[in-house]
Structure 1
Amino acid sequence: MQIDFHHGVTYVVARLAGFDAGDADIIAHSAQYVDDATNKGEIWFDNGMLYERIASAHKMLDYNNMQMLSNHRVWLPFHFLPGNSNEAKPESPPSLDAGSFAQRCVCRPNSAPAKELMRSVIERQARSYALYRLGIAAHVFVDTWAHQGFVGFESELNIARNLKADNDHHHEQSFADKALALFGINWDKTVQGLVGAVLPLGHGSVLSYPDRPYLKWSYENASGATVLRDNPADFAEAAAELFQWFCRYRDYPVHGEQVLDKLYPLPPQWGKLVQSLSDITDEDPDVRHVHWMDMARDGTFGFHEAVDYLESGVGSWKEMALGTEDDINDNEDDKLPLPPGFHKSHWKLFHDGLQAHRFYVLHEMLPDYGILSS
């Protein structure tokens, strides 16, 4: 999914679930920032302190950059959560061969690991970074719909051929030209399969098709089966399930574990949200995002709020936390003064949440399914 869903839709869903504007902003910003936190390394301060951050993404849209698509410690916990073959959590971790391991790592919508991830965030919400981790988990959770059928490391399971879009004639007409510019070769069924074989990580061989809410499309998977995808329906289901988890998060401090299986009625504005997933069809995700921000301001969903997302620069989480727009990384020889509000800054709490999320997924949750990737 892209910024229109990870930030725009997530913000609207959080508000409809009862979060106030400030908390919804943190949740939605964190959900999108998962795709933008591409730097890792130590930040050194001149009082001797340091803060180490991890990356939750590479610039995956740069599909011709093979080097940046290699870190499955990024893709698996943050973008392609293993679906355990759509099976429930086992009583004890199974012993998996290579084929079974890969199959169980294929991302599946609303899988047992995805639900367990959301429960863990709810149960651990006393942490200072809890809302940030909720946004991070929300990103991973909804991506199980968009990224279903693909795996977050190099695998032949990710090979796809005969890509077709049913309701995007503009993209169909220009796709070959874009592929020619990107790969330097003409794009047809045979070549697409070759590219998939060279770039078998995630959904690289189907480009951004899984991530655009309005698209209906199909492809031939590695087994030769035709897979039909209906993004509007999938994204609407993802939003509805996310709404349930947001409601449970809010109710848990008062009512405890009994809310973890509770079903909440969708609000009256829900039909407009679902319709917008199909109606906003611009190929540019930033343009689609503007539509969602406009609806947040104009009262479409029952509130009038000027909310936006700033990845970098003056006023961004990073600039406010570190006091500089410079790209600071491993700066032991050029230390920064420690800003007075750093410890409670959005940027630090987000990165605390990233580390907590990755540790939980790779070291606590997935090993119980027999999946080791740490």
Structure 2
Amino acid sequence: MQIDMHYYGTYAMARAAGLTEKAAQLIAQCSQFVDDAAEEEALHFEDGGAVYAEPTAHHNGQVLIQYATQKVSGNDLTQRQIWVPYHFLPGNQGTSFSERLKCQQNSLIAQKMVAHNLKMATEEFALPLIGITAHVYADTFSHYGFSGVSSRNNRVKGDSFRFHNANPDTITYLESKKKSFLEKSEEWVKDNFRSWISDGVADVTGALGHGAVMTYPDLPYLEWEFSYADSDRKIQRNNPETFLDACEQLHGMFRTFAARCNPVFQDPDALVSFEKMRPTIQAILAVMHGKKQRIAAWKDALQTGTLYGRAEDLPDYTGEAWIDELDQLKAGRQTFPSSEMRDKDVFHYFQAARHHRSFILRELLPDHGLIVA
């Protein structure tokens, strides 16, 4: 999923679950920040303290560097440390280890992740943790069928795509996005791995996550199909249906969180049933074309009162401010006491990210026979 769901849709579901605007905004910010927190450098302080970042994302260039390194050295640790726990939670279905690593929508493992993280509702990092949980949980409804570790099982037939509900303008848009994605990937590889380009750009994009199907799983409106490279079976995907299910499950998760969290984050008067919102959400998910149009649909539904039955402004995402602040702090040793970092939301994000990664990789997955990292 993309920012329209990870931030705007997540905010709407959290707010409608009975959480304050401030709490819902921080949850949504942390949900989207999972896709933006790619920094690994530490912050150092003159008093001897240090804060080590917790990366939860890899940008395209990093992913390709990592994949190329893996092809040479067999090292895919960062895929397993980032893509698996934060973006492609294994569904544990199938017989081979590779098959079991494939993400599955609302799997038993995903449900156990949610249940465990909800138990942390009174911790100081509870809001960032439930935001991270929302991101991972929502991605199971779009990333299913693909794994976060390079595998031939992620490959698809390039000529097997069919779009069932897209109008001509949208098909043209989708094809242009596909061409742009492949051209940028190919150009990047040529510039950085000239000796390796003989394997072809399809090798780069096809083995990692859902790179072989571009952003099609992340488009809420799309009904489409494809075939995996090793099969002629048509895989039918109904994104509007699975995204609607994701919204309903997130709303339910947030309602449980609202009942357990610090009362200062609770706003019972904001509670709206999912059934009341369902028609409006369906209309939002049906909006075609790019993220700007989809974001505008979420904001319009809130500002006009058509989603909740009351008008409300939606704060914009400010994760970039966290990145800018961290960049400034990394510029040199800090003179303020390192203990003051504990008051910053981004520090609580790092706390939550570390807790989540450790639980997924060292407890939850091993409990199901998956030793990933």
TM-score normalized with structure 2 length:
0.82
**In the alignment, is the contact (CA less than 8 A) between 1:317 and 1:345 conserved in 2?**
no
Partner of 2:18: 18
* Cα displacement string for residues 262-302 of structure 1 (whole angstroms, at most 9, x for unaligned residues): xx952412220122101x2122x244223323333332323
Residue in 2 that maps onto 1:66: 64
Q: 2:250 aligns with which of 227, 242, 265?
A: 242
Match of 2:162 in 1: 164
How far did residue 184 of structure 1 move?
Answer: 5.3
Question: What's the CA shift for 1:40?
Answer: 1.1
Identity in percent: 29
Partner residue in 1 for 2:334? 336
* Distance (Å, rounded) in 1 between the aligned partners of 2:134 and 2:9: 11
TM-score, scaled to structure 1: 0.81
SS of the aligned residue for 1:218 comes to: strand
Q: Distance in 2 between matches of 1:217 and 1:195?
A: 23
In 1, the alpha carbon distance for the partners of 2:152 and 2:210 equals 11
Q: How does 1:78-157 map to 2 (within 5 A)?
A: 78-85=86-93, 100-157=96-153
C-alpha change, 1:177 and 1:50, in structure 2 (3 Å) is closer
Alignment coverage as a number of residue pairs:
332
Say if 2:34 and 2:57, in contact at 8 Å, map to a contact too.
yes
**Structure 2: unaligned runs, 5 residues or longer:** 68-75, 188-198, 263-271
Q: Deviations over 1:29-86 (max 9, x none)?
A: 11000000010131101221101112100114x69x6215552111000000000118
SS in 2 for 1:26: helix
The answer as to 2:204 corresponding to 1:208 is no
CA–CA separation in structure 2 for the residues paired with 1:48 and 1:305: 43
Alignment of 1:1-374 (within 5 A): 1-60=1-60, 66-68=64-66, 71-72=78-79, 73-85=81-93, 100-161=96-157, 162-166=160-164, 167=166, 168-175=170-177, 177-178=179-180, 181-183=183-185, 195-199=201-205, 200-224=207-231, 225-252=233-260, 266-278=274-286, 280-283=287-290, 285-301=291-307, 302-312=310-320, 316-319=321-324, 324=325, 326=327, 328-329=329-330, 334-338=332-336, 341-374=340-373
Between the two structures, name the one with larger relative contact order (CA 8 Å, sep ≥ 6): 2
Is the CA contact (8 Å cut-off) linking 2:280 and 2:301 kept in structure 1? no
**1:176 shift after superposition:** 6.2
Q: Shift of residue 4 of structure 1?
A: 0.1
Deviations 1:196-215 (A, max 9, x none): 44430100111111111111
Q: Structure 2: how far apart are the matches of 1:156 and 1:218? A: 19
The separation in 2 between residues aligned to 1:297 and 1:31, in whole angstroms, is 22
Structure 1 residue 306 displacement after superposition: 3.8
- How far did residue 328 of structure 1 move? 5.0
Q: Could you tell me how far 1:243 is from its partner in structure 2? A: 1.0
- What SS class does the counterpart of residue 29 from structure 1 fall into? helix
Q: CA RMSD for the aligned pairs?
A: 2.6
Distance verdict in 2 for CA 1:235–1:176, change over 3 Å: closer
Task: Give the Å deviation of 1:172.
Answer: 4.4
Secondary structure of the corresponding residue to residue 276 of structure 2: coil
1:125 and 1:59, CA in 2 relative to 1: closer, same or farther beyond 3 A? same
| Cα drift, residue 113 of structure 1 | 0.6
2: CA distance, partners of 1:306 / 1:142: 20
- The alignment partner of 2:43 has SS state of strand
Amino acid in the other structure paired with 1:338: F
Deviation at 1:338, TM superposition (A): 2.9
